[in-house]
A and B are shown apart, each in its own frame.
Chain A
Amino acid sequence: DSGVTQTPKHLITATGQRVTLRCSPRSGDLSVYWYQQSLDQGLQFLIQYYNGEERAKGNILERFSAQQFPDLHSELNLSSLELGDSALYFCASSVATEYEQYFGPGTRLTVT
């Protein structure tokens, strides 16, 4: 158990819908990262927050957005969902930006 929690574990929704994925980092970790893992692309970095502020963006679509709250938990919002958004979404956290990242168990999103 890495100490990073993610909810829900599974999510099945229809095209065009909007969903919110939630992540709670390890106690004391200030940095939160979101990654998407699909069969053909592997693990792809989406976005990073550090102590409530957006720090970096990766291959995140405009339909996707995220935020980190004062209690350091983070949410990833996915809207206007398409079939191709089906994937595993992982959250990771680290105590500071230069240290190893610990991953949560992931949310499996299926868009039908």
Chain B
Amino acid sequence: EDQVTQSPEALRLQEGESSSLNCSYTVSGLRGLFWYRQDPGKGPEFLFTLYSAGEEKEKERLKATLTKKESFLHITAPKPEDSATYLCAVQDFQGGSEKLVFGKGTKLTVNP
């Protein structure tokens, strides 16, 4: 069964203090790994898709990377508006379904 584990569960940073969030996964055959941002009471907002080990994607202060067993979301010089829960999800080739299996997320708080 697919599994996704995110760490840490919560992270507090000062504005400008760079850090990384981790997503470890176990899948039979990875079709894609997805990063989402979710604000309280809102729907997840799509950030990135990564398909193969070694791939990297960037958007503003965020950079996502992928290895065969984990993905990292690097946040460079974060601002208070980056505060949110970041969700990682995997999609695999097995079972004929394109469902996403989500981790429980990392709640990021950036203090001014």
Which residues of A does B touch, CB under 8 Å? 2, 4, 31, 33, 35, 42-45, 48, 55-56, 58, 88, 90, 92, 94, 97-106, 108
**How far apart sit A98 and B100, CA to CA, in the bound complex (Å)?**
10
B30 CB to closest chain A CB, in angstroms?
12
B22 CB within 8 Å of chain A: no
Stretch at the interface among B10-18, B42-50, B61-69, B70-78: B42-50
Residue of A with least CB distance to B31: A98
- Is A104 touching B96 in the complex (CB atoms < 8 A)? no
Q: A31, A44, A98, A106: which contacts B43 (Cβ < 8 A)?
A: A106
Known contacts: A43-B87, A45-B101, A102-B46. The answer to whether A108 contacts B41 by CB under 8 A is yes
Are A42 and B103 in contact, CB atoms less than 8 angstroms apart?
A: yes
Measured CB to CB, the residues of B under 8 A from A are 31-32, 34, 36, 41-46, 49, 87, 89, 91, 95-105
Determine if A55 and B97 form an interchain contact, defined as CB atoms under 8 angstroms apart.
Answer: yes
Contact B98 A100 (CB under 8 A): no
Going nearest first, the 10 A-B pairs with the smallest beta carbon separation are A56-B97, A103-B43, A97-B98, A45-B99, A43-B102, A42-B104, A103-B44, A105-B43, A106-B43, A100-B46
Closest to A9 in B: B41
A5 to chain B minimum Cβ distance, whole angstroms, is 11
Docked-complex contact A105 and B44, CB < 8 angstroms: no
Do the beta carbons of A98 and B98 come within 8 Å of each other?
yes
CB contacts (< 8 Å) of A105 on chain B: these are 42-43
**With A42-B105, A98-B32: A33-B99 Cβ-Cβ less than 8 Å:** yes
By the criterion CB–CB under 8 Å, are A2 and B45 in contact? yes
Q: Collect the chain A residues with CB atoms within 8 Å of residue B89's CB.
A: 43
Say yes or no: B44 contacts A100, CB within 8 Å. Answer: no
**A102: B residues at CB distance < 8 A:** 46
Give every chain B residue within 8 A of A42 (Cβ-Cβ).
102-105
Query: Contact: A90 with B49, CB < 8 Å?
Result: no
Question: B43, A58: Cβ atoms under 8 Å?
Answer: no
A56 with B98: CB separation less than 8 A: yes
Residue of A nearest to B103 (CB): A42
